[in-house]
Amino acid sequence: MQWQWENATAGAIAGFTTVAALHPLDVVRTRFQVNDGRLTRFPLYTNTANALYTIARTEGLRGLYSGFFPAVLGSSLSWGLYFFFYSRAKHRYQKDTGEQLGPGLHLASAAEAGTLTDASRTIFRDEGWRALYKGLGPGLLLVSHGAIQFTAYEEARKFVIKSRNKQCNDGNIHGDEVLTSADYVAMGAFSKIFAALSTYPYQVIRARVQQRPNSEGVPKYRDSYHALTETLRFEGIRGLYKGIVPNLLRNVPASSITFLVYENVLKFFK
């Protein structure tokens, strides 16, 4: 059981480090996502660099780190829970099969971890049942994002270990011992790009559904389907990928940092 809490602790430290380093890009991503070009109350930015500069100039450091404390708390809790549930699921499947896990069981482990983490976070929310379930549909679909990312990471990990062992031909080096920090960075980046390109439209729809109602209390979108059809009607496919550049600029290095810190903290515990 101790190794499961080591996974949770390493995940929580990784989540904290990632948000602390890259939160301004998360702020920019969110502002791009909710701006559909038909609202005047949101400032318009030409690109990610312009957005960062404008926010820093007009709102200062407080603007760039808007919502930092709930974000860093949520990230630390989420990654701690995710790695805890993920390691438990992998251990259970490995115990049942007695063999090295393939992509199917890695996918199942990550999906299970994502579902349990989502459920745990939901329990802690206190905004009432309407706010609780708003955007839940695309939120649950986003569980597939983590499942895809972790499966890609595990498969890349197996590939690198296998290739490195063939090159080394050293019987005394095996498993994680052949992996370096550069490997964790590269595998983290690869897995995030693969997952992001697959699931990004869900994030846009969820962000738009969760926008606050206007001054009359009328929500802009009735539900996820309405948000999807309106986005396609006015903006086309490009609208579903609005803000993907700041998303990748933030989340690709974030993924690299997360796995780099997680793997090295875990090695330290071991």
CA–CA gap between residue 22 and residue 13 (Å, rounded):
14
**97-120 pLDDT, tens per residue?**
767 788 888 888 888 888 887 766
Cβ-contact 257, 18 below 8 angstroms: yes
Cβ-contact 261, 13 below 8 angstroms: yes
Which residues of the chain have a pLDDT value below 50? 126-133, 135-136, 138
**Residue 122: which residues within 8 A CB-CB, separation 6 or more?**
132
Cβ-contact 121, 102 below 8 angstroms: no
CA–CA gap between residue 221 and residue 245 (Å, rounded):
24
**140-152 pLDDT, tens per residue?**
555 678 889 999 9
DSSP H helices in the chain:
2-34, 48-64, 68-97, 103-124, 128-133, 136-141, 143-168, 181-209, 224-235, 237-240, 244-269
Cβ-contact 191, 255 below 8 angstroms: yes
Cβ-contact 252, 189 below 8 angstroms: yes
CA–CA gap between residue 55 and residue 23 (Å, rounded):
13
Q: Which residue has the tokens 């929500």?
A: 219
Residue 221, classed as helix, strand or coil, is coil
pLDDT of residue 191: 96
Closest CA to 50 of 205, 227, 189, 245: 245
Distance of CA 52 to the CA centre of its chain: 21
How many Å from the N-terminal Cα to the C-terminal Cα in the chain? 14
pLDDT of residue 221: 84
Closest CA to 82 of 15, 25, 22, 148: 15
Q: In the structure encoding, which two tokens stand for residue 33, read together?
A: 């996502």
CA–CA gap between residue 253 and residue 193 (Å, rounded):
10
Q: Which domains does the chain have, with CATH numbers?
A: 2-269 (1.50.40.10)
Cβ-contact 52, 28 below 8 angstroms: yes
Residue type at position 55: I
CA–CA gap between residue 172 and residue 239 (Å, rounded):
52
CA–CA gap between residue 255 and residue 96 (Å, rounded):
30
